[in-house]
Structure 1
């Protein structure tokens, strides 16, 4: 099996090289994203391994099919960047990593909340400059606050448990209720009630037609004044322009994001010597109450190990003509 890994970073190669000898797979690495104008690179490969910002639209899929690719292996949970209908039409199977380390993302969401609230990032910079003043560093007790969780899959459930551990009242919204969470005191409510009552809102739902821009002008109007909003799921869950308006009006008091709707040409790259042309991102960065990380919520040793081994197992199952445990249908 010849595998082409796209959007390769040093840590991706490190983990694939660490485990590849356990599998009968020959791997080639490409730093470039897989998209229509790079799809020609897939000639003579049986499978491609892609990440969140690769573009598997109809044009890409048709091109890689002509080159001989029979399998798309996502090394992530989300698959909104893949045209599944085009894959079916071109007889290409799609597999993913449905759960690698839910705790990794959930813990990062809580880290964003605590950092924004207690302003530890600002305190760190102050102390390094010899400034020991506490002025403007005041936060609030998370204990007994109402935390709203949108989406209670494995990541959302892990976040609910963390929030309960802080002594928060946890409200949740999901089309499927988790009975175990309910037994532990999580209360399922309508999305409108969650927006109305939550002091903190954390997004943990997949991106699809129903959830795109779930945070927009209308939903922000329903929220408490001074809400703390966090998104570690998919950038397009949030309408950035509307959130900026919410920040300017102070309806949103704090914003923490690990994902961004237009992150494809930004995240996972060192642009420190470049001029960033994304005006919305620059505007977000201008707010003192906004904290942005570059899609690193998943990035732990445990998660990287699980992502790599699950991806390789998915490919091995395809090679052996076995049932695909993590097939996307």
Structure 2
């Protein structure tokens, strides 16, 4: 059984059903937060569930280390895996033409303030210097805080500088027209949107959340904010703006570096790993093996 969890404690009750029934299972984690740990009444059960897992698979080293710290355990079979992405591995896109002189930024992800930090980004862009710059931000995505974020844009009178697109079928279309990715996240795993932007040859401006710093080389492949705060994000955005003439070169370096860090065949590697675990488990006496997909959908 593969239990794919949006956050690192979403699916432990699913896993416990299989643990008690004698089934082997693998836990896959897409995000970990430092603001949530198991409550006292459930802590021991969560520890038992995680210790009994055949593997604990994380999308970033940060998430693995944080979860072990929170549980006070070395998790057996814990390792970092790469999720599949949705742009070509080779051949970054041509740099977007800007006939109107506008620098176009994209913030791609769920409209979910507690994780993604869009509120902080809007406060930064509401400053006078950003209102006077030829910059346009597009939010790509939908989510539970969509109405709230629309309301913030209206309240801050940013309608001329900010637009919304709920869905695009082909993420590469975003990078044909946008110059950089903005990620003001408070919590992350390893954002696929960052991998996709870098593979497409676009610099990333992001808060240091989850595994972002494991891929983003500050001032070389993008610009890293110390955290998802007004001061930190403002500082990183100002540095990026001062270096905007170098963005095409920074994007090209981002593509080069990320290809050395993520596999060309991430889908096949993850599938092969799961099948190998299943095969090994099926020969262990006293254990029933199964492999399927369960639990909450991973966070974008």
Report the TM range for the smaller structure's normalisation. Answer: 0.3 to 0.5
Q: Which has the higher contact order (CA 8 A, sep 6+)?
A: 2
Superposition TM-score, scaled by structure 2 size = 0.34
